[in-house]
Chain A
Amino acid sequence: MSAVPLLEATGLTRRYAMRRGLFGRPVEVRAVDGVSLALERGRTLGLVGESGCGKSTTGRLVLGLERPDAGGVAFEGRPMPAPGTPAWRALRARMQMVFQDPLGALDRRMTIGAQIAEPLEIHSIGGRPERVAQLLRDVGLRPDQAGRYPHELSGGQRQRAVLARALATEPALLVCDEPISALDVSIQAQVMNLLVELQARLGTAILFVSHDLRAVRQVSHRVAVMYLGRIVEEGEPDAVLHDPAHPYAQALVSAIPHPGRRQRRILLQGDPPNPADRPSGCAFHPRCPVATTLCAREDPVLKPRPGDGRHVACHVAQGEVPARRAA
Chain B
Amino acid sequence: MLTMNEPMGRAALARKVLPYALLSPAVLVTLAIVFFPMIQAAWMSLHDYILWKPKDFTFVGLKNFATALGDEVFWISLKHTVIWIALTIPAQLLLGLATALLLNQEFPWRPLARALVIIPWALPSVVIALMWVWIYDANYGILNEFMLRLGLIKASVPWLADPDTALYAIILTLTWQGFPFFAVMILAGLQSIPKSYYEAASLDGASTLRQFWHITLPGISGVLITAVLLRTIWVANSIDVIFVMTGGGPGYATYTLPLYAFIKARTNLDFGYGSSLAVLFTLMLLGLVVVYLRRAGRGID
A binds B: no
Listed in ascending order, the chain B residues whose CB lies under 8 Å from chain A are none
- A residues contacting B by CB (< 8 A) are none
